C-alpha cells in the first residue's frame, strides 16, 4: 500500500480519466502541516524509465529555479 498526497492523487485520477501526450507534470502548492502553511513541490512521471531519471530531475530543477516565484 502507498499513501498518496492530494496533489499526486488528483493528478493520477485526472491522467487516468483524461489521457494526454504529456508524460510528466511538475506542481507546486500550499499545504498545511503542523498548523503552518508551507509550499510543497513535486514532479509526477507517468511512464518513468531508468535512462530518463537524470533528465527528469534537471527538468524539475529548472521548474523550481525558473517557474516558481
Question: Model pTM greater than 0.95?
Answer: no
Domain count, the chain: 1
C-alpha pair distances (Å), 3 with each of 25, 44, 51, 69: 19, 15, 26, 29
Tens-place pLDDT, residues 13-57: 888 888 888 888 888 888 888 888 888 888 888 888 888 889 999
Residue 35 lies in a domain: yes
What's the N-to-C CA distance of the chain in angstroms?
35
Residue 37 lies in a domain: yes
Q: Is the pLDDT of residue 4 over 70?
A: no
Q: Give start and end residues of each alpha helix (H) in the chain.
A: 6-17, 53-62
- The phi, psi pair for 33, rounded to 5°, reads -135, 125
Containing structural domain, residue 16: 6-67
Residue 25: count other Cβ atoms within 10 Å of its Cβ: 17
Residue 1 lies in a domain: no
Amino acid at each position: 500500500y502507498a499513501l498518496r498526497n492530494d496533489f499526486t492523487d488528483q493528478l493520477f485520477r485526472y491522467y487516468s480519466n483524461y489521457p494526454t501526450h504529456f508524460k510528466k507534470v511538475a506542481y507546486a502548492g500550499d499545504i498545511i502541516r503542523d498548523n503552518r502553511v508551507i509550499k510543497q513541490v513535486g514532479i509526477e512521471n507517468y511512464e518513468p524509465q531508468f535512462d530518463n531519471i537524470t533528465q527528469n530531475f534537471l527538468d524539475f530543477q529548472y521548474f523550481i529555479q525558473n517557474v516558481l516565484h
